[in-house]
Amino acid sequence: MVKKEIEIIGWIFYVLAAVFTVVVMGMLIWKLTGHSPTELDIVWWALGILVTFQVLTITVLFQINGKMGELVEFKRQTVDKITNIEKKIENTKRT
């Protein structure tokens, strides 16, 4: 359940990042055409973009961390199985 929620949050922030990117492009087009946004608009949009990218980065890192945890668990189970097989081989050699 948590993994699905993280994916949903990730998609929300992917969309927000895309929207903010379009807004920044719009601001650049305004600037190039001689219509400059106010400084306050630029500051608020910049803060929004920074927060969005930070949350997006954290969301991606949590997904990577979850996958790494699954790999560590898989490694532990594999090592346990190999150890059990080695013990069985030793027991069969003794008998």
Domain range spanning residue 45?
2-94
* Buried b or exposed e, range 22-42, using 16+ CB within 10 angstroms: eeeeebeeeeeeeeeeeeeee
Higher pLDDT, 32 or 67: 32
Output the pLDDT for position 63: 66
pTM of the complete model = 0.41
How wide is the angle at C-alpha 4 spanned by C-alphas 78 and 19, nearest 5°?
130
- Average pLDDT taken over every residue of the chain: 76
Output the pLDDT for position 2: 63
Q: How many domains does the chain have?
A: 1
Query: Average of pLDDT values for 51-68?
Result: 69
Output the pLDDT for position 16: 78
